Amino acid sequence: MSEQAVHVQKPGWVTVNVFNRAVAWLTRRGISVWGSRILAVRGRKSGQWRRTPVNLLTFGGERYLVAPRGHVQWTYNMREAGGGRLLLGRRVEEFTAAELGDDEKVPVLRAYLKRWKAEVGVFFGGVGPNSSDEELRAIAPRHPVFRLTSGQER
């Protein structure tokens, strides 16, 4: 899928300048807000570490990262790098990541929306945790989902 062909809904000013910054600030100090972490992943072009706040979902004994805003820079970088680091204060956890196929995403998207719909629901075009499997499957191609396998914590 080409980067130019994918529509990404940009977050609003309040989300970027107030909410994301507040959550990132707390997370960097070791306070998780509903599963928040700082994702660090190497840039696919620069090789430099890039950081962004994310919501870490634990579901069915597995851990996932969902891209509510769609195919964004961290998702392209994750595909290239195959993993990264999750930061919570001074705690650093390395992980590998495997991207789910669209059919596998339905229960994960439902669980993600059940937990964070108030925060990210606007990015899912009216689809929520009570939507049908068909509705969730229809939006699945627009929202990358990665299953994480823990590596080493330091």
- Note whether 96 and 149 are within 8 A (CB): yes
Tell me, what's the pLDDT at 2? 42
Here the tokens at position 120 are 């990210």
Res 19 pLDDT > 90 = no
CATH number, domain of 143, equals: 2.30.110.10
Tell me, what's the pLDDT at 45? 93
Here the tokens at position 150 are 């823990």
Q: How many domains does the chain have?
A: 1
Of the CA atoms within 13 Å of residue 131, those in its CB half-sphere come to 25
Would you say residue 133 lies in a domain? Answer: yes
Would you say residue 4 lies in a domain? Answer: no
Would you say residue 5 lies in a domain? Answer: no
- Note whether 95 and 151 are within 8 A (CB): yes
Tell me, what's the pLDDT at 119? 82
Angle at 30 between CA 19 and CA 90, to 5 degrees: 125
- 58-114 tens-digit pLDDT: 999 999 999 999 999 999 999 999 999 999 888 999 999 999 999 999 999 999 999
- Note whether 115 and 151 are within 8 A (CB): no
Res 128 pLDDT > 60 = yes
Would you say residue 42 lies in a domain? Answer: yes
What confidence category does residue 118 fall into, taking pLDDT thresholds of 50, 70 and 90?
Answer: confident
- Note whether 145 and 65 are within 8 A (CB): yes
Strand pairing category for 36-42 and 91-99: unpaired
Cα 33 from chain centre? 14
> Highest-confidence range of 13-22, 82-91, 138-147, by mean pLDDT?
138-147
Cα 151 from chain centre? 18
Domain containing residue 138: 10-153
Name the least confident of 28-32, 96-100, 126-130, 131-135: 28-32
